[in-house]
Amino acid sequence: MGSQYHMEVGGQDYYIDLLFYDTILRAYIVIDLKVEAFKPEFAGKMNFYLNAVDERLRHQDDQPPIGLILCKERNHVTVEFSLRGMDQPMGVSEYRLLPKDVQATLPSPEEWEAELEFVDAEEAS
């Protein structure tokens, strides 16, 4: 559905980092990206996003939205205490960056954009 997906709630603007719709599960997937270790307040923010998506986007035939918080690191005890009692399906996971030597072999964002523009141009003709 998009990155930095805009939602207005209570007259305020909010932006979901990544919002997907899984056609097999028939559910929205909300992803919140964090460049730091997990903090308990991240669960509250995700719960807010899941409730907003449930209320504003979910069709009656859809399953409840699923939340995933991706953090630089997580402490299992902190995560467990933060998610306990919440009724929304959500999880917390760590991400790992690729080693620098592998990163150096990948195309730059500009190279990806140029390639995508080339593919779009070919499909249009």
When pLDDT is averaged across residues 51-71 and rounded to a whole number, the result is 94
Cα 22 to Cα 37: distance, rounded to the nearest angstrom:
27
Range of lowest pLDDT (14-23, 48-57, 70-79, 104-113): 104-113
In the chain, where are the structural domains located? 2-97
CATH 1.10.3470 fits 2-97, yes or no: no
Cα 17 to Cα 33: distance, rounded to the nearest angstrom:
6
Residue 114 tokens, joined: 């140029």
pLDDT-derived band at 10, boundaries 50, 70, 90: very high
Cα 57 to Cα 9: distance, rounded to the nearest angstrom:
12
End-to-end CA distance of the chain: 26
Tell me the pLDDT of the chain averaged across its residues: 89
Cα 4 to Cα 1: distance, rounded to the nearest angstrom:
10
Answer with the residue of higher pLDDT: 98 or 34. Answer: 34
H helix count then E strand count, the chain? 4, 5
pLDDT single digits (tens) 88-113? 888 898 888 778 888 788 888 888 88
